[in-house]
A and B are shown apart, each in its own frame.
Chain A
Amino acid sequence: DAGVIQSPRHEVTEMGQEVTLRCKPISGHNSLFWYRQTMMRGLELLIYFNNNVPIDDSGMPEDRFSAKMPNASFSTLKIQPSEPRDSAVYFCASRAGYLGSNSPLHFGNGTRLTVT
């Protein structure tokens, strides 16, 4: 089991550029989550998918952020245009089970985004 795979591990970009973060969930998991972590705000849930369908995107900060899950093995989080306040570590997580189950989340090791 390779775990949740995120790429890139580090991303440095200039303000105004488009940034795309990628996630491959654990095979067989049908829920996928995007979290953001900063010193000021801690870990925040941005959006989650179940069976490739977005269920709750209430944590997405603004229209500059978008997330897609075109198939069960891939998801992207895009920021366009990026701003310095978007600098954070972005985590992807996945889990098995139906929507209301209590199976645990498995997190990737994150993408550290720096916007200058």
Chain B
Amino acid sequence: DAKTTQPTSMDCAEGRAANLPCNHSTISGNEYVYWYRQIHSQGPQYIIHGLKNNETNEMASLIITEDRKSSTLILPHATLRDTAVYYCIVTEYGNKLVFGAGTILRVKS
């Protein structure tokens, strides 16, 4: 699976969009980009995933660059409850997710 690079931490003002970047320059053609998050004392929670096209669901949007070497997770209107560790994972098969250190997102009022 391709390696991912994420910033260690980010801050975001409540109500503003949170844009979390992820670099995956060695991604192969069959590998998907997944995003999960983990709120303190809870299990990881699936957010969104995509292959080539941008994706949107009720939680977030995923923007993947045309060369697929990087992506951005967008939380359109961050709330305090979005404070969590966000994991970007690249894998061909969804059955072997390897979690890195992720990005600590702190949403502040």
Interface residues of A (CB under 8 A from B): 4, 31, 33, 42-43, 45, 48, 50, 55-56, 91, 93, 95, 97, 99-110
Q: Please, what's the 1-or-0 string for B70-109, where 1 marks a CB less than 8 Å from any CB in chain A?
A: 0000000000000000000000011111111100000000
- Could you say which of B6-14, B16-24, B39-47, B60-68 contacts chain A? B39-47
Smallest CB-CB separation from A56: which chain B residue? B96
Which of chain A's residues has its CB closest to B51's CB? A102
B43 in complex: contacting residue of A56, A91, A103, CB < 8 Å: A91
Given contacts A91-B43, A110-B43, contact A105 B99 (CB under 8 A): no
Interface of B is mostly: loop
Q: Kindly list chain B residues whose C-beta atoms are within 8 Å of the C-beta of A31.
A: 95
Interface residues of B (CB under 8 A from A): 32, 34, 36, 41-46, 49, 93-101
Taking a contact as CB atoms under 8 Å apart, the answer to whether B49 and A105 are in contact is no
Q: Name which residue of chain A comes closest to B96, CB basis.
A: A45
Closest B-chain residue to A31, C-beta based? B95
A45 and B43 contact, CB distance less than 8 A: no
B32 surroundings in chain A (CB, below 8 A): 102
Q: Which residue of A lies closest to B93 (CB)?
A: A100
* B-chain residues with CB within 8 Å of residue A42 when the two chains form the complex: 99-101
Max chain B CB contacts within 10 Å: which of A93, A102, A110? A102
Complex A-B: 20 CB contacts under 8 Å: A33-B95, A50-B95, A55-B95, A56-B96, A91-B44, A93-B44, A99-B93, A100-B93, A100-B94, A101-B95, A102-B32, A102-B94, A104-B49, A104-B94, A105-B36, A105-B46, A106-B46, A107-B45, A108-B43, A109-B42
State whether A95 and B94 are in contact (beta carbons under 8 Å apart), knowing that A42-B99, A102-B49 are contacts in the complex: yes
The complex places the Cα of A30 from the Cα of B45 at a distance, in Å, of: 19
Instruction: Select A104's contact among B42, B46, B101, beta carbons within 8 Å.
Output: B46
In the bound complex, CA of A29 to CA of B43 (Å): 17
B88 to chain A minimum Cβ distance, whole angstroms, is 13
